[in-house]
Amino acid sequence: MTDRDITRQIGKFYITPELLRDPNLFESHKAVFNKIIPLHIEKHFYKQYVEYIGMSELFEPVNEGDVIPLYTVQVEKIYGPLNCAWYHVKAEVISYSPEDQETVFTG
């Protein structure tokens, strides 16, 4: 447990509907949403993706009025003793550019 305030650790990422429906990726999706609390979910039919804005310790803090950074979220399946598997989730900033995104954090 950390004493950091994650309420400002906001990020945006996209998942295609094909990936969401893939039954082979179900455990990976569970690992992602175990680390990220969705705050806003929007389906973009014309762009063929689902946009998520979430709160997570994986994201950097943003200040009110800042553009919410766009992240890539990656999941790695790791095997341990006795072939037990667990998932490592990480997020990396793709862009802070207001030209690339329009969502502003309003606290």
Residue predicted with more confidence, 101 or 75: 75
Residue given tokens 């806003």 in the structure block: 40
Q: Kindly state whether residue 107 falls inside one of the protein's structural domains.
A: no
Contact 67, 98 (CB under 8 A): yes
pTM: 0.80
In a domain, 70, yes or no: yes
Write down the pLDDT at residue 102.
Answer: 57
Read off the tokens for 54: 């979430």
pLDDT digits (tens, 9 = 90+) for 49-59: 899 999 999 99
Which 8-state DSSP code applies to residue 104?
B
Q: pLDDT, tens digit, for every residue of 78-100?
A: 998 888 888 899 999 997 655 55
Is the separation of the CB atoms in 31 and 89 below 8 Å? yes
* Tokens of residue 12, six digits: 């945006």
Residue 37: is its pLDDT beyond 60?
yes
Question: Mean pLDDT across the stretch 36-57?
Answer: 90
Domain that holds residue 20: 8-95
Q: Decide if 106 is inside a domain.
A: no
Is residue 100 one of the residues assigned to a domain? no
**What is the C-alpha to C-alpha distance for residues 22 and 32, in angstroms, rounded to an integer?**
15
Domain count, the chain: 1
